[in-house]
Amino acid sequence: MADGTRTPNDLEAYWMPFTANRQFKSQPRMLVAAKDMHYTASDGRQILDGTAGLWCCNAGHGRAEIVEAIQSQAAEMDYAPPFQVGHPAAFELANRLTDIMPGDLNHVFFTNSGSESVDTALKIALAYHKARGEGSRVKFIGREKGYHGVGFGGISVGGLGNNRKQFGNQLPAVDHLPFFYDRETMCFSKGQPETGAETADALEDLVALHDASTIAAVIVEPMVGSAGVYMPPKGYLDRLRTICDKHGILLIFDEVISGFGRLGAAFAVDKFNVAPDLATTAKGLNSGTVPMGAVFVRDGIYDAVVNGAPEGAIELFHGYTYSAHPLACAAALAAQKLYRDENLFARAAELEPYWQGAAHSLNGAPHVIDVRNIGLVAGIELQSRPGKVGARAFDVFLKAFEKGLLIRTTGDTIALSPPLIVSKPQIDEIFGIIADILKTTA
């Protein structure tokens, strides 16, 4: 209000993202501080972070090394334009990142979010085919239940109905692979399901339908995060890779969640030993401290787009004011150093069996119809209340917050992904609180 009559804690002006605004504002849950594994709520309570913020604070909260790096970068140089000018930390960070990414994904394009990383990867795929004289390849294949952020590119290749239905006007040339999950054969799998790899063969049908000469790329989350935590069946990603190779189609892995240690390896690329042509990342890149994303690109793609353009020409008409923002780069260099120094990706792998055991201890708890896990991720799926999908899990979320635990729910699945510094007693605490809540949840 122009007359300044709003009080600082008037909640009306802020339109919250992916939130039931009216419900939240009638009963707000405010976080005011964070350190290591805990948030502090506005009423002073400590809240154990079972979700690494939103799958992003992999090094834990308030880590001094990252805080100091951001502070000193802000004091030294707050901002530098990324077009036709550079700053050293951007180049250094790209080198550190390609050091840990296997294979020849040796080039990095910086963005500010996962959504921007996805749209960037889609555009690079189109530019690549055009540079090679295959400009007819303009279609994308996503997968049902895929989440690739909220840009028009991302919701088009994404496969979540709720994220699309309010916005009719999406990319026209998109089709979707079927989802691979089969409850009967896969529920309560530990890690990757043994069966289901053949569902990847549906890609051959889509190629037959559209013709390979029209398809630019296939994009999938190697591990499905936002739709409810699903692991790819063993061999599934390999099959996608083989079919893409056969038809000259690029394969994009959306590693916005799976990147930077979440699966107990640097990337899903390592964990599943399948290399995509492009990989989108964000979140854990700088442990969620400053908005940043990065798209990894194979040598051949970079070479085709960059070396194929006339000397002196801008090769890719794409970029963001805040690409490689100095504060984000400083935070990322510090976070990556912490990951290395504390061996956090290996730590996640070491904890995986313990985490798996704790998660599957909920098999048999009231309402639990599936438990899925990999690395330091778990999905606890609850039976939905008739006609009210999501209501039961949301009740659990509210009760958990009251009891001092932050969880995330999507539909009726509880998604857990703590910072990689989580201890065994804290793992017990996370699943113990959930078990208690389930006992008293209708």
Q: Return the H-helix or E-strand segment holding 437.
A: helix 424-439
CB of 176 to ligand PLP, least distance (A): 15
Cβ 155 vs Cβ 163: under 8 Å: yes
- Decide whether 159 or 437 has the Cβ nearer to ligand PLP: 159
Q: Considering only residues 179-208, where is the footprint of ligand PLP by CB under 6 A?
A: none
Size of the site for ligand PLP (CB under 6 A): 14
Minimum distance from residue 223 beta carbon to ligand PLP (Å) = 9
Element (H, E) at 382: strand 377-382
Smallest distance from the beta carbon of 303 to ligand PLP, in angstroms?
A: 26
Write the single-letter amino acid at 323. S
| Distance separating alpha carbons of residues 229 and 191, to the nearest angstrom | 11
Which of 362, 378 has the CB closer to ligand PLP?
378
Q: How far is the CB of 161 from ligand PLP (least distance, A)?
A: 17
Query: Does 256 contact ligand PLP by CB under 6 A?
Result: yes
DSSP state letters, 268-301: HHHHHT---SEEEE-GGGGTTSS--EEEEE-HHH
Shortest Cβ 194–ligand PLP spacing (Å):
24
HSE value, Cβ hemisphere, 13 Å, CA-based, for 381: 18
* DSSP H helices in 188-303: 202-210, 236-247, 268-272, 299-302
Q: How far is the CB of 118 from ligand PLP (least distance, A)?
A: 6
Q: What angle do CA 404, 410, 416 make, to 5 degrees?
A: 50
CB 208, min distance to ligand PLP, A: 28
Determine, following the binding rule CB under 6 A, whether residue 257 of this chain makes contact with ligand PLP. Answer: yes
Q: Is 370 in the site for ligand PLP (CB under 6 A)?
A: no
Interacting span for ligand PLP (CB under 6 A) from 34-42, 238-246, 254-262, 339-347: 254-262
Q: Locate tokens 């890779």: which residue? A: 241
Rounded to whole angstroms, the Cα distance separating 279 from 289 reads 21
Cβ contacts of residue 217 below 8 Å, gap of 6+?
Answer: 121, 122, 125, 140, 141, 249, 250, 251, 252, 277, 278
> Binder to ligand PLP among 39, 109, 147, 355 (CB under 6 A)?
147
Which amino acid type is present at position 29?
R
Q: Report the residue number whose CB is nearest to ligand PLP.
A: 114
418 touches 426 (CB < 8 A): yes
CB 39 within 8 A of CB 404: no
Q: Which stretch binds ligand PLP (CB under 6 A): 73-81, 147-155, 159-167, 357-365?
A: 147-155
Among 159, 225, 288, 379, binds ligand PLP (CB under 6 A): 225
From the CB of 6, what's the least distance to ligand PLP, in Å? Answer: 28
Minimum distance from residue 181 beta carbon to ligand PLP (Å):
16
Residue 254 in the binding site for ligand PLP (CB under 6 A): yes
In terms of CB distance, is 56 or 344 closer to ligand PLP? 56
Report the nearest approach of ligand PLP to the CB of residue 227 (Å).
9
Is residue 9 classed exposed, middle or buried when 0-12, 13-18 and 19+ CB atoms within 10 A define those classes? exposed
Only segment of 81-89, 114-122, 325-333, 402-410 that touches ligand PLP (CB under 6 A):
114-122
140 φ, ψ to 5°? Answer: -120, 145
At 32, which amino acid appears?
Answer: V
Q: Which is nearer to ligand PLP, 147 or 345 (CB)?
A: 147
Nearer to ligand PLP, 221 or 370 (CB): 221
Q: Does 119 bind ligand PLP (CB under 6 A)?
A: no
Token duo for residue 418: 């703590």
Stretch that binds ligand PLP, among 111-119, 212-220, 227-235, 376-384 (CB under 6 A): 111-119
Sign (positive or negative) of CA dihedral 228, 231, 236, 241: positive
Per CB under 6 A, the segment of 29-37, 121-129, 179-187, 220-228 that binds ligand PLP is 220-228
Q: Can residue 148 be called a binding residue for ligand PLP (CB under 6 A)?
A: yes
User: Does residue 226 interact with ligand PLP by CB under 6 A?
Assistant: yes
Question: What residues make contact with ligand PLP under the rule CB under 6 A?
Answer: 113-115, 118, 147-149, 221, 225-226, 254, 256-257, 282
